[in-house]
Chains A and B, each alone.
Chain A
Amino acid sequence: MRNLAVASILVVLSGTFVYMTAGHDITFGRPVNTQMDDYFLARGQEQTGANNVVTAVVFDFRGFDTLGEATVLFVVVLGIGMLFRKLMAREEEESE
């Protein structure tokens, strides 16, 4: 019963995906809405002074995104440190 439910969910999801790609006519190699990216490619070099457009997007046009990303990495390391420190303290308590 459970496997049947799981299988039906997967079939529905993959069917939705196939319908979406067929309905919106996405083809590999021909992107449709490229106005923003064309702007970055044409003007990004003179506005940011960087030859690498991906770096220009990551660090200049979407700088807030990168700030959030760095914060996520910081918080994750903080969490891992707290977790392992607590684990080690508890096991030392138990072994005594």
Chain B
Amino acid sequence: MLANVPFIAFALIAIIGLATMIMRKNIIKIILGLGLLEGAVNLFLVALGYRQDGIAPIFTNAPSTKMVLPTVQAMALTSIVIGVATMALLLSFAVFIYKKYGTLNSDSINRLKG
């Protein structure tokens, strides 16, 4: 149980992010919850690929050849860049929504007509 602390940390952060996304009304806080969920998924990916006493998968002046898994790290890299891009787009939408409706409360944004 104690060895699985990174997975438990992932579960905690993911549940906090999900709860933030579901329970908060402010759009900025919903976006921050999404960012928390992304961070949790990256942590899970990297923790899945860890090998006991492994080093980073780089051969330049490497002290040993026991290395952690490289594919999950590549996936986490992809996920980080996509996360930054979606976060920037969502925050721009938040600016747009505030200028149009005058509020960031997601309950009061219910007019569907342009």
Contact = CB atoms under 8 A, between A and B. Distances in A.
Contact of B4 (A14, A27, A31, A58): A27
A23 to B, nearest CB: 13
13 contacts: A21-B4, A26-B7, A27-B3, A41-B57, A53-B58, A57-B71, A58-B74, A58-B78, A72-B81, A73-B85, A76-B85, A80-B89, A87-B99
A72 B78 CA distance: 11
Interface string B1-45: 001111100010011001100110000000000000000000000
B57 A54 contact: yes
Interface in A1-51: 3, 6, 9-10, 13-14, 17-18, 21, 26-31, 34, 36-37, 40-41, 44-45, 51
A14 B99 CA distance: 38
Task: Name the interface size band of chain B.
Answer: 35 or more
The SS class assigned to the A binding surface is helix
| B interface SS class | helix
B101 interface: no
Interface string B75-100: 00110011001101100110110010
B86 to A, nearest CB: 7
A65 B77 CA distance: 11
Nearest to A34: B69
Nearest to A33: B69
Interface in B37-62: 47-52, 57-60
Given A54-B77, A83-B93, A72 B50 contact: no
A79 B93 CA distance: 10
Given A57-B71, A80-B89, A31 B7 contact: no
Given A31-B48, A37-B70, A76-B85, A52 B19 contact: no
A28 B18 contact: no
Given A44-B70, A84-B92, 6 more contacts: A30-B52, A52-B58, A52-B59, A53-B59, A76-B89, A80-B89
